[in-house]
Amino acid sequence: MIIWLSFAVLATATTAALLHALSSSRARPVRDNSNATRVYRDQLLELDRELTAGRIMPSEYELAKAEIARRLFKAADDITPGGEPPSRINAAVRLSIVAFLPLLSIGMYVALGRPELPSMPLQKRLDNPDRDLAVLVRKTEMHLARYPEDGRGWDVIAPVYLRLNRADDAEKAYRNAIRQLGLNAGRLRGMAEAPMAESNGKITEETRQALERSLSIEPNNPRTRFYIALGMEQAGKMVDARAAFEAIVKDSPADAPWLPLLNQHIAMNGGAPAGADQAAPGASAAAPANPTQQDMAAAETMNAGDRQQMIRGMVESLDAKLSEDPNNFEGWVRLVRSYAVLNDKDRAAGALKRGLAAFPPPGEQGSQLLALARELGIAPEGATQ
């Protein structure tokens, strides 16, 4: 309420100041100079007589006449009584100020401001810079517009663009940073991630080349290796993809957070997830079957459409087995991830909800399913966050 009262006071003061400046009601003082004008006219007549009689030179006559004429015109102007009536234009301007200035200021605040944002001390704002991320991005963009050769600025804003889902801007920023600062693994990987984000994870030939250049600089980066293996999977090279995923698992710490994702892709490509010989707590003794070697060989000879249909059939088979025997935590993880990889978010959300019914969130496994949901961007209706 205080801020709106402040706005009202400021709008009133501004309106009053503008109206005062445009006001035309200030009256000129009334002076009756009619006698003075008669005197000046008599002086002009007398001056003409002096010239005719030859008592003054023509040059003196012209100078004196000009001075008397100036005084005569000034005296005539001063006879005008009161002030000028306000013009129609000034009246229209004043009406516009009174009617539209407050509405315009309020409208701009609602459009550009953040009235829902609660008041916050300066230190708290500094501790939460994400609230002002849009402002920081805009300031950086203005800086880069003036100094486009600032490679450090492009390097800083590129991952921010990627975080804001501005994939095109992110790719351009990474390219500018590479042009100004040179190649490094992070910039190459970011330049590859930008088109991947725009195409729902599709890895093109250009993207693959950028990833391989990044890997040549930083050979053990698991993120880059995962993307390259994912490209093999998308190209239908299931054996190579499985070997690449398994190599990442082998080189990863036992508690690495990306291991469940790797195991999912290993299973999708016909392998056994790491630790599959040890059943998870609460898991069914009979895990849903993975693709056989014959399935793998057949898949590599299929076209992309047939291969996708075969993968979807395996996922639906897993779905049916979990419906019959839901007490299989690893199966639910695989099913949710499989639907997500197939870009079927509705079925992924449904599978997640059913998995949470079997493994409620208060437990460790339910919490892992919720973490998986956040990772995949899935929020099923009725799931406890």
pLDDT tens string 14-30: 767 766 666 644 444 44
Mean pLDDT (whole number) for 295-317: 60
Mean pLDDT (whole number) for 32-48: 70
Mean pLDDT (whole number) for 338-359: 87
Mean pLDDT (whole number) for 374-381: 74
307 is written with which tokens? 């291969």
At residue 171, the pLDDT reads 93
287 is written with which tokens? 């895990």
At residue 293, the pLDDT reads 46
Q: In angstroms, rounded to a whole number, what is the distance separating the alpha carbons of residues 377 and 371?
A: 10
Least confident of 37-41, 197-201, 340-344: 37-41
Residues 91 and 8 in one domain: yes
Mean pLDDT (whole number) for 94-109: 65
Q: Does residue 121 lie within any of the structural domains?
A: no
Residues 10 and 100 in one domain: yes
- Residue 129 per-residue DSSP state: G
Residues 11 and 70 in one domain: yes
Q: Does residue 354 lie within any of the structural domains?
A: no
Q: Which of 185, 204, 219 is the last residue of a domain?
A: 219
pTM of the predicted model, to two decimals? 0.44
Q: Which of 69, 95, 112 is the last residue of a domain?
A: 112
The pLDDT confidence band at residue 118, using thresholds 50, 70 and 90, is: low
Q: Does residue 186 lie within any of the structural domains?
A: yes
The helix/strand/coil state of 300 is: helix
Q: In angstroms, rounded to a whole number, what is the distance separating the alpha carbons of residues 298 and 321?
A: 23
At residue 312, the pLDDT reads 73
Residues 93 and 166 in one domain: no
Q: Which of 219, 239, 270 is the last residue of a domain?
A: 219
pLDDT above 80 for 263: yes
| Lookup result for tokens 């509405």 | 103
pLDDT above 80 for 288: no
Q: In angstroms, rounded to a whole number, what is the distance separating the alpha carbons of residues 360 and 351?
A: 13
At residue 52, the pLDDT reads 80
More confident position, 37 or 79: 37
Q: In angstroms, rounded to a whole number, what is the distance separating the alpha carbons of residues 34 and 79?
A: 7
pLDDT above 60 for 382: no
Residues 25 and 66 in one domain: yes
Residues 55 and 21 in one domain: yes
- Residue 87 per-residue DSSP state: P
Residues 83 and 160 in one domain: no
More confident position, 104 or 152: 152
At residue 4, the pLDDT reads 62
Q: Does residue 364 lie within any of the structural domains?
A: no
Least confident of 7-21, 270-284, 306-320: 270-284
Q: Does residue 143 lie within any of the structural domains?
A: yes
Mean pLDDT (whole number) for 214-232: 92
Output the average pLDDT for the chain: 75
Q: Does residue 203 lie within any of the structural domains?
A: yes
We report the CATH number of the domain holding residue 199 as: 1.25.40.10
Mean pLDDT (whole number) for 231-241: 88
Residues 36 and 84 in one domain: yes
| Cα separations in angstroms, 21 against 9, 14, 18, 85 | 19, 11, 5, 15
Q: Does residue 232 lie within any of the structural domains?
A: no
Residues 105 and 142 in one domain: no
More confident position, 75 or 136: 136
**Owning domain of residue 192:** 138-219
At residue 265, the pLDDT reads 85
Domain total for the chain?
2
pLDDT above 50 for 114: yes
At residue 258, the pLDDT reads 83
Alpha helices (runs of H) in 259-325, residue ranges in sequence order: 259-268, 293-300, 304-324
Residues 16 and 94 in one domain: yes
Residues 7 and 105 in one domain: yes
Residues 84 and 167 in one domain: no
- Sign of the alpha-carbon torsion through 122, 124, 129, 130: negative
Please, are residues 252 and 262 in contact by the beta-carbon 8 Å criterion? yes
